[in-house]
Amino acid sequence: MKKVQNILFLLCSLFLISCEEVIELDLETAEPKLVIDATLHWEKGTTGNQQIIRLSESTGFYNQEFPKAKNAIVWIVATTTNQIFQFSEITDGVYNCNSFVPNLNETYLLHIEYKNEIFEGTEKINPTPLISDISQDNEGGFTGDLIEVTASFQDNINEDNYYLISWKNNELKEEFEVSNDEFFNGNTMKTSYTSSDEDEELKPGSVLNIRLSSISKNSFNFISKIFSSANTGNPFASPVGAIRGNVKNITNPEKYPLGYFNILETHSQNYIVQ
């Protein structure tokens, strides 16, 4: 439903003689924070042994390079079995584990030691439904003349569900979308993709990768806020504050880390545009 705000703004700009320009603006830079990009994917039917966690630091708004968080100690523990999975740094800020064992409904704890501070957070693996159908029409987009691909999946009527969907068009950047079943409970849920960017328009032969994951409510809230914070300038946008994830700084709670620890069962499908 967040879309509505954006549409409203779009409409306003559409009808007006508005103009946009890039400006120079001095911005302050806050003390850097640890950024935890720990989204573990366990594709249905695979072992999920191979996992990667990326650690970096936040930086000034105009800086293009994100400093890597090097020399951290990283491990994950399954809270019921107490099995520990060590992650080792393979390149700067990238931590790898080859022996991870994912289990449905198991809760995992992420532990990071970085610059003499300890960070911890937990997340559970929620079961993800299968992508049941992928279809295509040529009436997508706001203008109704773009190729649109729609994926369907069955929502569980007995619980509140939250989903993270990612779309990858050929080798372009992944696009994410979150949704929930508030208005769709128990239905076949649909999610659609059209590229709004002219250079990345879907063409016959384009390969589209769709990945569906169930996420927790907490994670849904977090990712929704991340997306809306990328959208704050317009006067119809909601005010945002600091966005905190599920990982805490145990040593110094005031210096909370950014990012989120997610561990997801996923179902992926490739689709070739007709």
Partner 1 sequence: MKNCLLIFLILCSTYKVSAQELISLRGKVTDSDENAIENVGVFITELNKLVETDENGNFEIALQKGAYTLIADYPGYNTYKSTIKISKNQKITIKLVSLGSDVLDEIVITANQKKLNIRKPEMSVNKLTAAEIKKMPVVLGETDVLKSILLLPGVVNSGEGTSGFNVRGGGSDQNLIQLDDATVYGSSHLYGFFSIFNADFIQDLKLYKGGIPARFGGRASSVLEISQRNGDPQKFKSNGGIGLLSSRLLFEGPIVKDKLSYIIGARSSYAHLFLKLTDIESAAYFYDVNAKINYTLNEKNNFYLSGYYGRDVFKFKQSLNNSFGNTIVNLRWNHIYNSNLYSNTSLVYSDYFYGLTLGFVGFTWDSGIKNYTFKHDFTHNTTDKLNLKYGFGAIYYDFNPGEIKPDDAESSINDYQIPHKFAFEPSLYLEAEHELSERVTINYGLRYSMFYRLGEEIVNNYANNEAVIYDSETQTYSEGKAISQTYYGKNKTIESFGNFEPRFAVSLVLDDDRSLKGSYNRMTQYVHLISNTNAATPLDIWAPSGNLIKPQIVDQGAVGYFQNIADDKYSVEIESYLKIGQNRLDYIDGANLIGNRNIEQVLLNGKTRAHGVEILFRKNTGKFTGFVAYTISKAEQQTKGRNANEVGINYGKWYRSPYDRTHDLSIVGSYDLNKKWNFNANFTLQSGRPVTYPNGHYEYLGQNVPIYDYRNNYSLPSFHHLDISASYTPKPNKIKGWQSEWVFGIYNVYNRKNAASISFRENEDFAGKTEAAKLSIFGIVPSVTYNFKF
Sole binder of partner 1 in the list 103, 248, 268, 269 (CB under 8 A): 248
Binder of partner 1 out of 83, 107, 209, 228 (CB under 8 A)? 228
Among 258, 261, 265, 266, binds partner 1 (CB under 8 A): 258
**Which span (77-85, 97-105, 111-119, 240-248) binds partner 1, by CB under 8 A?**
240-248
The answer to whether 77 contacts partner 1 (rule: CB under 8 A) is no
117 burial level (CB within 10 Å; 0-12, 13-18, 19+): middle
Stretch that binds partner 1, among 96-104, 124-132, 216-224, 264-272 (CB under 8 A): 216-224
DSSP string, 125-161: PPP---EEEEEEEEEETTTT-EEEEEEEEEPPTTS--
Closest to partner 1 by CB, 30 or 90? 30
For partner 1, which residue of 46, 47, 50, 61 counts as binding (CB under 8 A)? 61
Q: Looking at residues 36 to 55 of the shown chain, list those that interact with partner 1 (rule: CB under 8 A).
A: 37, 39
Q: Which is nearer to partner 1, 61 or 81 (CB)?
A: 61
* Near partner 1 in 150-209, by CB under 8 A: 173-174, 176, 182-190, 192
> Any contact of residue 8 with partner 1 (CB under 8 A)?
yes
State which of positions 93-132 bind partner 1 (CB under 8 A): none
Name the one residue in this structure whose structure tokens are 């239905």: 187
Distance of CA 211 to the CA centre of its chain: 11
Q: Report the alpha-carbon distance of residue 263 to residue 112 in Å, rounded.
A: 16
Angstrom distance (rounded) from CA 68 to CA 60 = 14
φ/ψ (deg, to 5) at 6: -65, -40
13-50 exposure pattern, b = at least 16 Cβ within 10 A, e = fewer: eeeeeeeeeeeeeeeeeeebbbbbbbbbbbbeeeebee
Contact flag: residue 58 with partner 1 (CB under 8 A)? yes
